[in-house]
Structure 1
């Protein structure tokens, strides 16, 4: 394989994204497939690496697939697709066993794995590695990938756009690769592949306050949309109820498991308030808990509420929540003695690129898995710890599909043009990108947040249309940078979120609007198609 800028790099499978979903797929492909896995930053980053709680799966005889299914459907506000829920949950035990075989060090209690309970679950079914499950899974799978002779791991590579036969004016449209910015060299490289997998995560960075890393900018969703794929349910953005509130803490999540092990939410005066909102109190689904906190903060005009686990023994807290304990201690908060100041923050994108049960999108040769995809599992609200399970199940399913269906095209016969930078210049006004980033995240938080109104959404729509035109002009005239690529993608996805939210004339799950406070009897997904969605000419 040549690494010259002008010569495309050829692989059987190009995986854009290096979290749990992407690595699972890469590791489960047959060893004769040559696979490239791209990470746009360090491999030790991203949502999987930051995940604390664990993975939900039926692992005890006292639990059942039927009860896990019921909990998922209830949390999803009756919008989850039953066939997708059934498929993912029934694959749960095998997925956990595969992770164990890879060497993931799940926490044990005697002869058994310790299971915890989280909001919305009727049983203890969350298998975990202390309170750093994502890091344990990610580091284990990364180690396996480094050992695999057929997998090439490339960090600091930022995908810009997909390459399709239609874009090259060739018949029989399918995805055949992507243009990628190599941040090590500053040049754009074409990658050709018979199969391309989008495993880029969600778009929580669209909001001012988020638990996610800086890379959660909806890249895969935006690229798939521009390539002609449909998206669904982009209005359902999950806000995690408990993010550490501290001026020096950027995005430190306080795991759902803290409430699962008895943590109580308190007002500044020490009053417990969740029982007034839901019979399940702190163990209600995340949308209910987040709205309750938002309501109390607005009612009282307070900056945060508090999560108290100090009634449990110090040894228990340090054993079960070592990462949270040390993280809070770094900010002067001893959670064995003091309540934790918390606020809601954008956490998970429940909608995404529409796929089938093998992860295939509308575009032949293109797969989407993990948070990038819309499988139908989450409905209007994700049940805690179902997302990592979805990553493993669909990573494996897509690997099987690629192995069985892979079309081997002679990529050398397809001439992919070099990325043309002849008509652009280096920007001397990067401050514009910074200002656009800030404007986007602020109006999304203010107008498309936990509680919405039609007027707020219309204001957001007006602002995003202006912002998209400005970004398109900037993108056309200056050399691409990582920040510009991410801003372009995030603005695209924000537009999809806003349009979807305006379309839904009800309150359901994570979409709560004061203008339509009740749920409709009709339960439908919000599906947007690029063919029916008119962009400004400058954005196409």
Structure 2
């Protein structure tokens, strides 16, 4: 494959148009940087639009809540692996981040002086602000895209990021991309921010859209950055069950429905969460998903039910229009009948090791949003902390880029070479998703994880990354291998990581497991370490 055919220059290239990417790009533009945003879909094609619940934030107008209480709820949900300092700083910055978002035009439910709140799984107080009932992500995306267009922010649509470009010293110097026709090009920049979202497409059924193929994790690993906590994949307990063998993105039934009093029942009508956890149906997601999984195994069934029939139709139409439309499209009237639901892959709790300012171990490479592991989530994400993290860390990452570029000589970094399109191993997506769903979902053991590794080794073949499909398949394959390496090493059950052969928590594993690539490109477990470069 020949080398790049075209080139563009910027101070900062942002990969992704979700909440973290657009927040970072807008803030960087305000700071005077030349910014270019790259996305492999249209600008509105990311994961943010599908976020239903809201933004978890303490605005100071609820007398029974506090930042300290929000931090405590996050730490409990995180199963002992959250970083206290990072958690405190991100949550503490939430009110200012939401204020900036509202200043950019986002409209939340309730009167402006006292926004409406709801409660979701793992929260001990009403603190989740929402928009459009259950369409918060769509409103956040709308406001950020409108601000981007109004500010003339350049967005390169339908371009997939293939690989970072680096100097002989290993610093990031740009990005190799493919346009919609597969023509390679170079984006020269001293800073690249990964805001590529999650990895839900590792599994057959997920709440994530088709773009969530772990691209950023693979880019970071190949650039030399470690990843951490990949073994913790959160399965949302209530994804609409649409029939046996459902594949791809499945409609989410936000846990805010449970926040309004809905309960989980099995086919016999028995409560699923009775006696399982003090918060019952509002327990953290990992607890609820595991309880559903156990009940399904005991009954030999593939779904349970969410009974929200206590809500009348006007309430459902006002509060949960997205859920109502998805149910009706599947032939279910949630006002009359319980909603069939089952767990599906939802959020990655880990990702590229980064500080709360988005810095990674590789100079010039930054990460924000779901692709990043800041220390906020630990072994399990607290509901609606995700949009909060994207807003806070996106802005902080832009400020870090501006500070780093101002402190460094402004001379252009010279590439070691302008490389051709690389070659990487990729397994067939159907095979990968089937073995990951069967052996690396909720409930894992050593034998099953070894099966995944063997299948990937046998089925992966080297492919030139000359198309979007090839880039995505290679990213999924590399990320699956890294996830399996960490899951095999963590011989305990904690948060989202449930080992049926090691069902207890082992305090010897009260730390993150980092993975990096060997010189030959194989994922290797790294010794536990804290990311210190640029931590402030």
5+ residue gaps in structure 2?
524-536
Post-superposition shift, 1:30? Answer: 4.2
Pair 327,420 (structure 1): closer, same or farther in 2 beyond 3 Å: closer
Post-superposition shift, 1:84? Answer: 0.7
- Say which of 488, 491, 505 aligns to 1:505: 491
Structure 2 residue matching 1:113: 3-state secondary structure: coil
Q: Distance in 2 between matches of 1:331 and 1:30?
A: 43
Query: Which range moved further: 456-465 or 524-533?
Result: 524-533
Deviation per residue, 1:332-366 (Å, 9 max, x gap): 21111111110100001111111122111111011
- Say which of 529, 535, 539 aligns to 2:516: 529
Structure 1 residue matching 2:164: 3-state secondary structure: strand
Q: Tell me how large the CA RMSD over aligned residues is.
A: 2.2
Structure 2 residue matching 1:14: 3-state secondary structure: strand
2:124 equivalent to 1:137: no
The aligned runs of 1:146-225 (5 Å cut-off) are 146-149=149-152, 151-165=153-167, 170=168, 172-183=169-180, 185-225=181-221
Post-superposition shift, 1:515? Answer: 1.3
Q: Distance in 2 between matches of 1:362 and 1:309?
A: 47
Q: Distance in 1 between matches of 2:335 and 2:453?
A: 45
Post-superposition shift, 1:403? Answer: 1.5
Post-superposition shift, 1:402? Answer: 1.2
Which residue does 1:112 correspond to in 2? 114
Pair 36,271 (structure 1): closer, same or farther in 2 beyond 3 Å: same
Pair 145,276 (structure 1): closer, same or farther in 2 beyond 3 Å: same
Post-superposition shift, 1:450? Answer: 0.4
Structure 2 residue matching 1:334: 3-state secondary structure: coil
Q: Distance in 2 between matches of 1:113 and 1:318?
A: 19
2:440 equivalent to 1:448: yes
2:511 equivalent to 1:519: no
Query: Which range moved further: 44-53 or 273-282?
Result: 273-282
Q: Distance in 2 between matches of 1:534 and 1:177?
A: 21
Which residue does 1:46 correspond to in 2? 46
CA contact (8 A) 1:116 1:260 kept: yes
5+ residue gaps in structure 1?
425-431
Post-superposition shift, 1:420? Answer: 5.5
Which residue does 1:492 correspond to in 2? 478
Query: Which range moved further: 5-14 or 295-304?
Result: 5-14
Structure 2 residue matching 1:107: 3-state secondary structure: coil
CA contact (8 A) 1:146 1:153 kept: no
Post-superposition shift, 1:202? Answer: 1.2
Which residue does 2:254 correspond to in 1? 255
Pair 458,533 (structure 1): closer, same or farther in 2 beyond 3 Å: farther
Pair 420,265 (structure 1): closer, same or farther in 2 beyond 3 Å: closer
CA contact (8 A) 1:264 1:309 kept: yes
Deviation per residue, 1:126-179 (Å, 9 max, x gap): 001010100100111011111113x211111100111011xxxx3x32101111
Instruction: Figure out how many residues of one structure are paired with residues of the other and give that number.
Output: 511
Deviation per residue, 1:30-70 (Å, 9 max, x gap): 44311111111122222101110001011223211111011
Which residue does 2:532 correspond to in 1? none
CA contact (8 A) 1:6 1:418 kept: no
Pair 420,322 (structure 1): closer, same or farther in 2 beyond 3 Å: closer
Query: Which range moved further: 84-93 or 408-417?
Result: 408-417
Post-superposition shift, 1:319? Answer: 0.8
Which residue does 1:427 correspond to in 2? none
CA contact (8 A) 1:233 1:527 kept: yes
| Moved beyond 6 Å, runs of 4+ | none
CA contact (8 A) 2:173 2:414 kept: no
CA contact (8 A) 1:194 1:409 kept: no
Post-superposition shift, 1:413? Answer: 5.9
The aligned runs of 1:383-398 (5 Å cut-off) are 383-398=382-397
Structure 2 residue matching 1:529: 3-state secondary structure: strand
Structure 1 residue matching 2:189: 3-state secondary structure: strand
CA contact (8 A) 2:17 2:44 kept: no
Query: Which range moved further: 313-322 or 376-385?
Result: 313-322
Post-superposition shift, 1:412? Answer: 8.5
Q: Distance in 1 between matches of 2:308 and 2:322?
A: 15
Q: So what's the TM-score if we normalise by structure 2?
A: 0.91
Deviation per residue, 1:109-128 (Å, 9 max, x gap): 58521000001000000001
CA contact (8 A) 1:237 1:350 kept: yes
Q: So what's the TM-score if we normalise by structure 1?
A: 0.91
The aligned runs of 1:44-443 (5 Å cut-off) are 44-59=44-59, 60-108=62-110, 112-129=114-131, 130-149=133-152, 151-165=153-167, 170=168, 172-183=169-180, 185-247=181-243, 250-406=249-405, 407=408, 409-411=410-412, 414=415, 417=418, 419=420, 436-443=428-435
CA contact (8 A) 1:46 1:212 kept: no
Pair 344,403 (structure 1): closer, same or farther in 2 beyond 3 Å: same
